[in-house]
Structure 1
Amino acid sequence: MSSSTAELRPEGQNTAVVIDQQRREKDRPQNGGSEGKMAAWASANADDTEPYGLCAQILIILSYVITIVTFPVSVFMCIKIVQQYERAVIFRLGQLKKGGAKGPGLFFVIPCIDEYRKDSVTVEVDAVVYFRVSNATISIVNIENSTGSTKLLAQTTLRNVLGTKTLSEMLSEREHISHQMQESLDEATEHWGVKVERVEVKDVRLPREMQRAMAAEAEAAREAKAKVIAAEGEQKASRALREAALTISETPTALQLRYLQTLNTISAEHNSTIIFPFPIDILSGFLPNAARPFVAQSPQSPQQQVPLSGGEGRHNVPINYD
């Protein structure tokens, strides 16, 4: 007698489909989709993080104590803000802190213990690469399309180089960035028979929001600098006036000469008659007592004795100037 076994399957379904379904059902608990992989990766990284040692725990506790003692001031150092377009990655004593990237919004850090880094805005950079084929044989044999490959490599190199620079460095160190890219590209394309002659960064374009923010910051800096310059000018002018006043007080005749020079200047500039209500004698009141003899004094009496000769003797006749 012979025995046989039969497998029941739905009508119109072949063996290959059944085997494929069984394989997917078998692998489903292990794979779990992309979300399951990401969760498993995150939990694995969290488990791999080594616990803090004794010294690290002492430093953390000490930092908490200092933060509490200096509470009114420490608030400004502990609370950080991340914008909508930014994410912050926190490292505590060199180790990645659990919880992943922070933001957007507020988050708390411990001064001198936590270090956070954030991704800022995206910028658009235009660059030009000048290259030539230095060895035609190598350019044909070693690579299929040397021109296209050089362009793609230039884009990748530009992205890698600019990723290590801040925004201010991108704007101020274009020549250094171009030189760094030229060296990197020339070394990489040497085996392709391509010689990179020159790399130039044409333009760095920022978002409009960032442009307005930078313009406002630059304007505020210029206004502050202008105020500082004006204050320094006033200070220097005050010192000059003080020195001039000391010089005039030490030399009494200088005030009279200055007065006469002012009268001369006014009379030369304007074709008009100017009447001063006070004589120069009034200035003697502002001078020291030792300087007053140098000031021209007016007559003490409206009458003056004039000697006349006649007859046998001399007679003094009063003359009235009124």
Structure 2
Amino acid sequence: MGLFKRDDLKRGSESERKVAETEIETNDASRGGVYLFFLAMFAVGFSATFFATVAFASPLTVAVSTVAGFVLATSVRIAPQWERVVILRFGRFNRIAGPGLYCCIPFAEYAAIHVDCRIATASFSAEAALTADLVPVDVDAILFWMVWDAKKACLEVENYPKAVLRSAQTAMRDVIGQLNLADISMRRKQIDRDLEEILGKKCEQWGVTVMSVEIRDIMIPRELQDALSKEAQAERERNARIVLAEVEKDISEMFVEAAEVYDRNPRAMRLRAMNLAYEGAKDSKGVLLAPSALADGFNLPRSDAEG
């Protein structure tokens, strides 16, 4: 399975550039049983031939026994549960062998490739991909894929892991080139689905199924980060000022409505004055200092007092 690694290079005196390199990642699963079976078959063939020819006391006994052991070991082989083996006979495709025990005709058939049919993961990146508004961005993503047809993976493409990753990188650049910088972060899921659809159609002819693509990180140039940060701060300040103005407008309208109520009914104004006096006395622990205008609110009109 191919994997992209990054090496940091200097770009001028301040910026850095990341370059992707392809490597084959080692498989964590053990194939020790396959090699042990090969040695066991070799030992059986060598021992059987040696003891059968030792009576002739020929100097070629060891050589013949070695050849016999090698032929038996390469003829009877095993494949792990997750592997499929492409068998060629005289250079032409013959069959798919495995998992388990399989046999090859000596000197006529051979295993062309061992294909891992499990779900594979690989990371890839699109370096300095240009957006629709010509902003270079670096995008890191993870690709989940598997081989469903070992025959196509062997015969249709030279190196299917590398071909899948190169196709993923190209598709990523194409998708990023259709979006503006502001749309990339908001449409991550849509980008994942678009990449999965594009790669699925392209890799199907190689016997490979792309299960999902997930973007891990989107990096923009450092010189643009400050500008975007200032733009975001200005936008937030603008929104805050708009909200504050709307609140001030609502409060002023409520004050106008309250003034109309107080103007229509003087008693409402006196009740409000009493409430303010109560609140002031409560906050000042019983001591009330009020202007004379507020004290006038406690004086009832003569008509009310007589009534």
Q: TM-score, normalised by structure 2?
A: 0.52
Q: Structure 1: any 5+ residue segments left out of the alignment?
A: 1-117, 286-290, 298-322
Distance, in Å, in 2 between the alignment partners of 1:206 and 1:282 is: 68
Q: Secondary structure at the match of 1:263?
A: helix
More strand by share: 2
Is 1:209 the equivalent of 2:223?
yes
Residues 1:241 and 1:279: Cα distance change in structure 2 (over 3 Å): closer
What is the CA RMSD across the aligned residues, in angstroms?
2.6
Distance, in Å, in 2 between the alignment partners of 1:231 and 1:279 is: 31
Letter in 2 for 1:162: I
1:296 Cα deviation after fit: 4.7
Partner of 1:146: 160
Partner of 1:176: 190
Runs of 4+ residues deviating >3 angstroms? 275-285, 291-297
Residues 1:133 and 1:257: Cα distance change in structure 2 (over 3 Å): same
From 204, 227, 235, give the equivalent of 2:241.
Answer: 227
Partner of 2:280: 266
Letter in 1 for 2:204: E
Are the counterparts in 1 of residues 270 and 298 from structure 2 also a CA contact under 8 Å? no
Larger Cα-atom Rg = 1
Deviations 1:128-159 (A, max 9, x none): 11101111222122222211110111111111
Q: Secondary structure at the match of 1:173?
A: helix
Letter in 1 for 2:225: Q
Distance, in Å, in 1 between the alignment partners of 2:287 and 2:295 is: 21
Deviations 1:218-259 (A, max 9, x none): 111111111111111111110001101111111111111112
1:277 Cα deviation after fit: 6.0
Is 1:156 the equivalent of 2:170?
yes
Letter in 2 for 1:134: W
Distance, in Å, in 2 between the alignment partners of 1:244 and 1:158 is: 62
1:274 Cα deviation after fit: 2.8
Are the counterparts in 2 of residues 186 and 195 from structure 1 also a CA contact under 8 Å? yes
Distance, in Å, in 1 between the alignment partners of 2:269 and 2:133 is: 68
Are the counterparts in 1 of residues 139 and 217 from structure 2 also a CA contact under 8 Å? yes
Distance, in Å, in 1 between the alignment partners of 2:296 and 2:286 is: 24
Distance, in Å, in 2 between the alignment partners of 1:279 and 1:231 is: 31
Letter in 2 for 1:159: R
Q: Which has the higher contact order (CA 8 A, sep 6+)?
A: 2
Q: Structure 2: any 5+ residue segments left out of the alignment?
A: 1-131
1:284 Cα deviation after fit: 9.3
Partner of 2:232: 218
Residues 1:277 and 1:203: Cα distance change in structure 2 (over 3 Å): closer
Partner of 2:16: none
Q: TM-score, normalised by structure 1?
A: 0.50
Q: Secondary structure at the match of 1:189?
A: helix
Letter in 2 for 1:136: A
Distance, in Å, in 2 between the alignment partners of 1:234 and 1:277 is: 27
Residues 1:277 and 1:138: Cα distance change in structure 2 (over 3 Å): closer
Equivalent pairs, count:
175
1:192 Cα deviation after fit: 0.8
Partner of 2:110: none
